[in-house]
Structure 1
Amino acid sequence: MKNEDLKGVYCILNKVNGKRYIGSTVVSFKDRLNHHRNRLKANGHKNIYIQRSWNKYGEDSFDFIILEVVDDCDLILDREQFWIDNFDFDSLYNINRLATGGNQFSRESIDKRVTTLKLKYKTVVENYERWKVGEIQDCDLTSGEFGLFKVWSNPWNKGLKYESTEHLKIPKSVKGDRTKDKEAKRNKLPEVEVYSIDGELLKTFRSSKDLEEWSTTESNDLPIGGRFSKPRMGKDLKLLQSGNINRACRTGKPYKNLIFKFKTKAPINSDVD
């Protein structure tokens, strides 16, 4: 393996289902990956998710890959965090969304990281207060800040009462137009095929939005997987979000233990007998 004597960020990839574990090392990649391999072979890895997969699929189903060489040890955790954020967390074996570097970093390094995160959070809060009063605009925010601030901010009509709700009623004609518009847009979207992790075609949907809406109904009998056994943030465990479905179609990476593909339309035969 090239650069095995250097340090930085690596991943352990399951070639069967596309899931991976992302980690970092301040010693050589060779030493760190050998440590992982030895613990997995001994059935004693601290990460139970990757250990179970190793036991199920076998050593030959895993690749040890260098993602990035990092010379400065002070930057390694930041780069590990970058790579964790770069993937859908459901496609990772990592237990923690926050890069920790395992137990290889000193107390001083961990304290420095905590301090950095506190300062970063303080800056975000300060920007939120400025955003609320109009000192900074939406275009000045990062995409992460914009989404977070929208969640933090209260609805404009929270706590208000109205004597009449006539102004909220939508005429049936308008509702009908909206429904037609919605249907027309979805008819233009690519169809989505759902496959099991073994490649068996399970279902086909007109669009990812149709699949998302269907996924929370009692009709959903897809073999959805994941590390969580309870709903998170109020979302149904069976929910398949259209954005993640589209991403899975584009990348080919599994999402909730399923494979998604945009259906390829058969070419029109223009031959004339």
Structure 2
Amino acid sequence: MITESSSNYNDLEKMSVNELLHNINKEDQSVPLAIQKAIPQIEALVNAIVPRMKKGGKLFYIGAGTSGRLGVVDASECPPTFGVAFDLVVGIIAGGDGAIRKAVEHAEDDDKQAWIDLKNENIGENDSLIGIAASGRTPYVIGGMEEANKNNILTGCIVCNPDSKMAQVAQYAVEPIVGPEFVTGSTRMKAGTAQKLALNMISTSIMIQLGKVKGNKMIDMQLTNHKLEERAIRMVMDEIPVDRSIAESLLAEHKSVRGATDAYKNRT
């Protein structure tokens, strides 16, 4: 497997900090190029997911280790960013939520547990499932995807090895091939970065297609801190001809940029 192949660099412990940083950065520059090559695959996956979500379907991510954590992060950021329900995009990691902080021994080797975890989250035939694994061979993820296929659930995957078992199981495979890691086999590095970029593209483009962005603004974002409250005030003032005090009043009443601007336009 390419993700397990030997690093292009040797004697890392003999490098200065400056050499380490420059060489890591040099390797990282290959990641966006790998993602660019995978855009047609990402496009096909997004185009398959969006109609299902418009009919009420949900999006699930499953993974183990770094891959699972990346899925959980992307899912957890959708509600505050786009104002969607917390169960619209769901991230599941092998070993449960405790594995987000500490590795759970052999959790990724259980090919039956993922489907149990997915059923506990009430996955259904209108939903979509994306398996995430740098290697493309994680039993936990493959087992969940195979059961999802049997239950008429759309399946996709993000993997960093070509011709993997996961890509064979998935209906839509996304394969950013980033090459050997700077530290041999440390897929939290380039492979993890590629997975993060792909997840950003998938969830963001889906949310835009679902109408959660207007112009270039997150009009449904949750106002959970002062920074976001200030951003929302500016967004309201840009969208409708009101001063700051009226923008603040509208947001206090309607709790979102969309709600505030729609209410003002309906009044006038």
> Structure 1 length as normaliser, TM-score?
0.25
Higher relative contact order (CA 8 A, sep 6+): 2
The higher radius of gyration belongs to 1
